[in-house]
Chain A
Amino acid sequence: MTVVLYLLFGSLVLGGAGLGVFLWSLRSGQYEDLEGSANRILFDDDGPKR
């Protein structure tokens, strides 16, 4: 039965980490320009990005 407790704890920690990462990505503004991000993968840039 203790394995259930370990599993519960583990899944919560991992889920919480996922949530934390999502909130960070939201705060760093990655969702501001969804159209632009979608188009940028098609750009052909060879030089270093600014």
Chain B
Amino acid sequence: MTVLERGRGDAVLAAAAGAMGGAIDPAADPVPHTGMSAEPAHACAHCGQPAPAERRFCCPGCAVAFDTVRSLGLGSYYQRRVLDPDQRPPRPEAAEQRDLTRFIAEQPDGTQELTLAVDGLQCGACVWLIESVLGRDPAVVTGRVNMTTRRLRLAWRGSREDGTRLIAAIESLGYRLVPFDMEALTAARDETGRALIRALAVAGFASANVMFLSIGVWAGELAGWLDSMGPATRDLLHWVSALIAMPAIAYSGMPFFRSAAAALRQGRTNMDVPISVGVTLVTVMSLSETMSGGPHAYFDSAITLLFFLLIGRVLDHRARGQARAIAEQLLTLRAVDAAVLRPDGTTVRLGQHAINPGDRILVGTGERVAADGTVERGASSVDTSLVTGESLPVAVIPGGQVFAGTLNLGEPLVVRATATGGATLLAECVRLIEAAEARRSRFVVLADRVARAYAPAVHLAALLTFLGWYFGAGASLNESLLIAAAVLIITCPCALALAVPAVQVIATSRLFRAGVLLKSPSALERLAEVDTVVFDKTGTLTEPSLALVREGLDPEALSVAASLAASSRHPLARALVAAAGPVAGREDVVEHAGRGLAAGDVRLGSWGFCVDGGPSSPPPLEGLGREADRGWGEGYRGTVRGVSTPHPNRPPQGGREQDGTGTASPTQDGTRQSAASPELWLTRPGHPPVRFGFDEHPRPDATAVVSRLKGMGFGVHLLSGDNPAAVARIAETLGITSWQAGQSPVDKVAAVEAMGAQGHHVLMVGDGLNDSPSLAAAHVSASPSTAADISQTVADAVFQGHGLSPVTNLISTARRARRVMRENLVLAIGYNVLMVPLAVAGYVTPWVAAAAMSSSSILVIANSFRAGRVS
């Protein structure tokens, strides 16, 4: 969403293309004609984004990238590539200013090494393209992309400038590269995952071998009409099993033993406690059987149980690891350097955390602001979508506030930092999130709650059985141990352990098919308890992008405006083009950053831009200062005097807010927001000026979803940071009676917590950074997939698509899942309770116990499938 000034963009890209220096061999390049026939006629040939009709590319950057790829002989990239709609499109944008010195590590052999996060990897073809492009450069030693973690490891011989050149080359193709901090990187090495896989490998090896031996033993025992295996051979096989299994159990059981010990130290039990106790007991019992030459040795059961459990743990850990890596990547992509102006006039680049309050920072075009601060010099517009989720840039002038993480779209600004590092709004939100998550992790899942009561009872029963048989009935040690083990096995929480996860897996995959990604398994249980739903407004209840208000518009004016807007990426221009339909873009459009578009005499943009003589001449209207030229798309504020041409499309003065002063009137966030709707003006010689108004549209099914929620008995609330007029309008349209406007992130958290204190369980649905603390504070939360990265990271569920129906889908699925979970628990416990008296009485040998346990597990899994049926 950056507004490229064409001159600068071309210069950057020409330099990058020249830096490639690769062999140009058109003959070797397969021309990708056929590969693009599947794409619609007006998609850019390079990045797949909408291009003006009759033009092959959406911007000069894409054209250069296309030529670069083809001239390197890598044109087959376009045939192989599959564009991923969730990824950033490969459209080259003006690179953010970055100094790499802090991130480059120099190796002992003289190579420079750098790890970067890559944004915009669509599929394997992109990996191939990047590696091929890097491979052709003679300075590169290693250029390897890790597709799972989306990182590029780059090592080269030469100077730091070579590194910058290489990175610019890749960025010119449309990817965004951000260097990783080395400390953050080493901390991210996945030790737990590796330990789990090692345990899995050992358990696998051992269980396979022990199973082989056990098959021998069983065959020997059961072959009634053949010579059965003598006790000597059987003992030998038992001993060998013991020698293999026991070290393996000791090693691969460590994850479970450690977790159980940690829980016991806190005076609680979790699911790992019965598993650890059971495995240990079976091993000890089998060892004593082996030593006394008895027939019942169950090493195979113990080690195979560990093997299967570890498979589950490894897969689960990998799934979370992927989510973790992506979250880390997102955070890195937002990390910012800043150019700090020293008192002596020099500029030095520092990391975000090295800036102090009172420092003056130079924020260039296309650069992100590194700290909260006040603007000292320069007037520009900033993209605050990271902070507020608003798609529309906000104008800032000297005296105005900017926040860390926002993107400067216009001319360079000098900002005096007021809050830095940990004190910025961004960091504050992260802290609120962490505090809320800490509170939330104390939510004990149902399975663990049951385990707390169940496990001690079961162990007590086994102990009493053992004591009863050994002391009471005078049985031998072996026999008593055997019966106690049978009791423990028959009460084994396998079915119990499966009761909840099986339902979670099925419900989660059903939601996934419906376009909802449920990120935490405990979220299902929390969702089932919800009785209140709180929505954010912009981007959640309404579509994330603005739409053109079409009433009373002249279609001819619209198509003229669209022909100018076609080449701009400003969100309002895009909305205009979307409303106008396919229109041929004009070739001669010049974009003036932050103000508007001009093609010859025709102008499209802010009011001030349209009526003044040009970018450098002062506005002719009297009584207007710089404030009239707000940045195009802003609602117009200011009194107008001395206007000579009648403008029938302008609404009467009384309908606008009059704010004659030039100072910013801060809203809750401290940024300027227009009270009136955003607009664009079109002026043509010989025609009256035409006004295009934009408004937010609620999502298509928002009204239906709200009424359905109310019908189901939920309290529905709306909390928004926007001004009261806009919020009231949406609330009325959708039928929400309880709403608050002008809420800061702290206000939202307070409101959510107040509801929680009243005993309500709140589902919070929101999308911007200013929602993320309340997303974390709510009982359970959901975000649309268009949300700011950090909201998606914090929310329990992320849903795709244009509609809001996933919200009701989530709740009804969760309720159904909870019902089935409870049924499962009843089945699991009831089945076992029936069998326990039999086991205590000694009628159950361990293998019968295992069979009973397995069948109860199968019953539980079969019942879980009912959670996947469409209700």
Contacts and interface: CB of A to CB of B under 8 A. Distances in A.
- Whether chain B is bound by chain A comes out as yes
Given A19-B202, A44-B76, A50 B141 contact: yes
A32 B191 CA distance: 12
Contacts of A50: 131, 134-135, 140-143
B765 to A, nearest CB: 31
Nearest to B232: A1
Nearest to A38: B124
A19 B132 CA distance: 35
A32 B197 contact: no
B124 A39 contact: yes
B324 to A, nearest CB: 14
Given A8-B240, A26-B198, A33 B148 contact: yes
Given A12-B244, A42-B124, A19 B145 contact: no
A42 to B, nearest CB: 6
Interface string B140-160: 111101111100000000000
Nearest to A37: B147
Interface string A4-43: 1000100110011011001100100001111110111011
Nearest to A42: B124
A11 B212 contact: yes
Contacts of B240: 8
Contacts of B734: none
Interface residues of A, number: 28
B309 interface: no
B750 interface: no
Contacts of B149: 32-33
A23 B201 contact: yes
A47 B208 contact: no
A26 to B, nearest CB: 6
Chain B contact patch, size range:
20 to 34
Contacts of A43: 124, 128
B21 to A, nearest CB: 16
Contact of B148 (A16, A36, A47): A36
A8 B213 CA distance: 9
A36 B135 contact: no
B688 to A, nearest CB: 57
Contacts of A31: 197
B148 A32 contact: yes
Contacts of B205: 15-16, 18-19
B418 to A, nearest CB: 42
Contacts of B143: 50
A15 B201 CA distance: 11
Interface of B: 76, 80, 123-124, 127-128, 131-132, 134-135, 140-143, 145-149, 194, 197-198, 201-202, 205, 208-209, 212-213, 233, 236, 240, 244
Interface of A: 1, 4, 8, 11-12, 15-16, 18-19, 22-23, 26, 31-36, 38-40, 42-45, 47, 49-50
Given A4-B233, A8-B240, A42-B124, 14 more contacts: A15-B205, A15-B208, A15-B209, A22-B201, A26-B194, A32-B146, A35-B148, A36-B145, A39-B123, A43-B124, A45-B132, A47-B135, A50-B141, A50-B142
8 contacts: A4-B236, A11-B212, A15-B208, A23-B201, A26-B194, A31-B197, A35-B147, A50-B135
